Chain A
Amino acid sequence: MSGYRFDRLKILVVDDNQHMRKLVVAILQAFGVVHVHEAADAEHAWAMLRDVNPDVIFLDWQMSGMSGLDFIKLVRKDNNSPNPLVSIIMLTGHTHIDHVRTARDAGANEFLAKPVSVKAVLARLISVIEHPRPFVRTRTYFGPCRRRRPIDEYRGPERRGGESVEIDDTASEKV
């Protein structure tokens, strides 16, 4: 047993397909998540953010109205965003590597391809808990570092102190 207290989490599931919402909600509840909220589109999700203050958002990409990608950009960059750091797991039928990159470049923490499986949902949830990525702010991007490997995996000698660092790595993070 992992001993995770999933009952302490608040999760928001955003998908315009009610069946997919019901499926994801059922899986999360079986994991022990008690506080699961649902939104049928990104506009409602945006309106709910301040009241619900979710810890994790499961977000569909293809929705009528505001897309999942635009929602992520709003959450990450808008001055009125209640929590630009919230973990976002992008849920989508897109499976091409270019789509994974696009979701990552918008600021998604994780990518979950449909059809969803129980193991994949749990794996992504554990990933955002156990392997959070540092955040990056550039002129054009704010969100999780788009390099897969978190900096806390660095095993070499410490050359900088403190929690906030600046790196000059324009190859991976375009300014």
Chain B
Amino acid sequence: MADNRPEIFMPPNLLKAKVGGTVTGLDTAAIKRAESAMATLKEEFSDWLTNDIEHLTATHKAFNNSKNLQNVGYLFRAAHDLKGQATTFEYPLIARAAASLCKLMDALKSHEAIPLPLVDAHVDAIQVIHREKIKDISNRTALTLVEELEGRVTKVLANSVCKNSNV
């Protein structure tokens, strides 16, 4: 009879052998250097975000032209990039709107079920927040807009669950 038990082994710690040192909490000097490097990059963040939003706009256009699986994937990844990076680029509400779009696209198993007007509304909101340079996470107008989008996504997904459970 075959032995199906898991084998567990500890490989030699080559990383530790390479870098040496001792763990004494996070190296504050290294953190300061890296934060300084980030501050230098901040000058480029605006251009980077503009590029990412142009990419989102292009993938959205392709998605509207043909809602096939490939275009759904491109649009999702463009939104997912913004979800992950827009906060770093100082636009947290863009990250939140992009997260809402990702949630909508990720949760609906069939890409045919993705409601186009709600996708359009997310992309429009991201473009407006960027165009108006709204970096403040508590900006009343932008926050209301993002909360409205999140609420609509919640409703769509709830309806989707109801429909599936009635099948």
Task: Please give the residue numbers on chain A whose beta carbons come within 8 Å of chain B beta carbons, in ascending order.
Answer: 1-6, 8-9, 16-17, 19-20, 22-23, 26-27, 29-32, 55-56, 62-64, 85, 87, 92-93, 114-116, 118-119, 121-123, 126, 128-130, 132, 134-139, 145, 151-152, 163-170, 173, 175
**What are 8 sample pairs from A and B whose C-beta atoms fall under 8 A apart?**
A3-B21, A4-B21, A62-B80, A118-B34, A132-B16, A137-B6, A137-B8, A138-B4
Of B24-32, B126-134, B146-154, the segment with at least 4 beta carbons within 8 Å of chain A is B24-32
Q: Name A145's closest neighbour in chain B (CB-CB).
A: B8
Q: How far is the CB of A111 from chain B (nearest CB, A)?
A: 13
Q: Name A63's closest neighbour in chain B (CB-CB).
A: B77
14 A-B pairs besides A26-B41, A137-B7 with CB distance below 8 A are A2-B24, A9-B15, A17-B81, A26-B34, A55-B14, A55-B15, A62-B76, A93-B84, A114-B88, A115-B87, A132-B11, A134-B9, A137-B6, A166-B8
B87 and A6 contact, CB distance less than 8 A: no
- Prevailing SS type, chain B contact patch: helix
The count of A-to-B residue pairs whose CB atoms sit within 8 angstroms is: 168
Q: CB of B36 within 8 A of chain A? A: yes
Which listed residue (B23, B27, B36) contacts A130, Cβ 8 A?
A: B23
B9 and A2 contact, CB distance less than 8 A: no
Indicate whether A93 sits within 8 Å of B80 (C-beta atoms), given known contacts A9-B18, A128-B15.
Answer: yes
B85 and A115 contact, CB distance less than 8 A: yes
Task: Please give the residue numbers on chain B whose beta carbons come within 8 Å of chain A beta carbons, in ascending order.
Answer: 4-11, 13-16, 18-24, 26-27, 29-31, 33-38, 40-41, 48, 51-52, 73-74, 76-77, 80-81, 83-88, 95, 99, 102
Q: Name B35's closest neighbour in chain A (CB-CB).
A: A118
CA distance A145 to B6 in the complex (A): 10
B18 and A31 contact, CB distance less than 8 A: no
Indicate whether A4 sits within 8 Å of B37 (C-beta atoms), given known contacts A19-B85, A164-B7, A166-B8.
Answer: no
A93 and B34 contact, CB distance less than 8 A: no
Q: A93 to chain B: which residues have CB within 8 Å?
A: 80-81, 83-85, 99, 102
B48 and A2 contact, CB distance less than 8 A: no
A27 and B81 contact, CB distance less than 8 A: no
Q: A115 to chain B: which residues have CB within 8 Å?
A: 84-88, 95
A31 and B6 contact, CB distance less than 8 A: no
The residue among A93, A137, A164 with the most chain B CB atoms within 10 A of its own CB is A93
Q: Name B10's closest neighbour in chain A (CB-CB).
A: A134
Indicate whether A136 sits within 8 Å of B5 (C-beta atoms), given known contacts A4-B21, A5-B18, A115-B95.
Answer: no
Q: A136 to chain B: which residues have CB within 8 Å?
A: 6-8
A8 and B18 contact, CB distance less than 8 A: yes
